[in-house]
Homo-oligomer: A and B are copies of this chain.
Amino acid sequence: MARASDVDDLVRLAREGDPRAVARLISLVEDASPALRDVIAALMPFAGNAHIVGITGAPGVGKSTSTSAYVAALRARDLRVGVLAIDPSSPFSGGALLGDRIRMQEHATDTGVYIRSMASRGHLGGLSWAAPQALRVLDAAGCDVIILETVGVGQSEIEVVGVADTVVVLLAPGMGDGIQAAKAGILEIGDVFIVNKADREGASTTSRELRHMITLGERTAGAWVPPVLQTVASRGEGIDEAVEKIDEHYAWLKDSGTLAQRRLRRARDEVEAIAVASLRQRMGDLGGEELLSTVAAEVAAGSLDPYAAADRIIASV
C-alpha cells in the first residue's frame, strides 16, 4: 500500500528515469488502488507535455513492427519515448500473442524507452479509464512522445481517438481498398494514414484510393488534410518521413488551437466519467445492488418496464 509520501517519492524517482518507479505507478493506477487519487494528484503538475500518438489498424498490418521502427527513429532524435500496447486479453490467447512483443526487445535495455502492455479487458472502469491514467504516468515521467498501440478490432480502436493527440492508421496493400476503409469507419479517425508493407503488390493502388476517399471528406479552411504515406517498417523504409508527418500534425494541432480544445474536451470527459462512476458506486453502496437485481428480474419477466425500474433505483440513491 502506497502512502502519500511514498507516492511523491515514486513520482520523483520516475521523473529521474527510474523504470521501476514508472512501472509501480502504472500498476497503482491500473489496479485502481486506494492510493489512486494521491497518485493522480501527484502526477498532475508534471503531465500535459507529451505528444500522444495512437497507432491502430487491422491485425496483420504490422503495428508492432511499425511501433518498434518509430521508437528507433524517435530515439535517434534523442527523445524519450513511452509505448503503451493494448493487448486483447482472450481466454484463448494466453501468453502466446505476446510473441509480438519480442520484436520490441531491441529497445528493452534502452533507459530512454518505457514499454508497457495493458490488457484490453478486465480493468476496473474499463480500458477507457485505465489507459489515460497510464498515459498520464508516462507523460509525467518525462516522455516526449507516447505511442499507444491498439488491437485493430473492437472498442479500443474507437477509444484511441479519445485519448491520442495524433491517430496513425496503418493499412496494408490488398487488406482493404478505400471503400473497405470507409466501411470500417477508419477514414474519419485517422490524422496520418500509412500503407505499410509497401513492397507488396497493390500498395500504390491502395494509397491512391485512400487519397481519393480523403479528398471526398468535407473540411473547413485550415483543417488538417490527412496525408497518405508508404512504409516498409520491417526494413525501416519511409519511417523518418512518417515520423516527420506525425510531428507536422502535432505542430498543426498546437498552432491551430486544436490541441488545447481536444485536451479540454478530454478533461471534461474524464471528470464526468469519474463523477458518474462515483454516483454508480453510491447506488451500490446504499443497497442499490440488491434492489437492482430485484427490479431486473421483473424487467426480464416483462412485468416492469426499464424506465419505471430505473426510477425506483434513483429514488433509493
Which of A's residues lie within 8 Å of B, judged by CB?
Answer: 36-37, 40-41, 44-45, 47-48, 58-60, 88, 90-94, 96-97, 120, 151-155, 157-158, 176, 179-180, 182-188, 213-214, 216-218, 260, 263-268, 270-272, 274-276, 278-280, 283, 292-293, 295-297, 299-311, 313-314, 317
Contacts and interface: CB of A to CB of B under 8 A. Distances in A.
B186 A153 contact: yes
Given A296-B264, A305-B41, A88 B184 contact: yes
A268 B275 CA distance: 21
**Oligomeric state, in number of copies?**
2
Contact of A154 (B36, B155, B270, B311): B155
Given A275-B314, A296-B267, A300-B264, A184 B305 contact: no
Nearest to A216: B92
Nearest to A40: B305
A161 to B, nearest CB: 10
B157 A270 contact: no
A88 to B, nearest CB: 4
Contacts of A301: 48
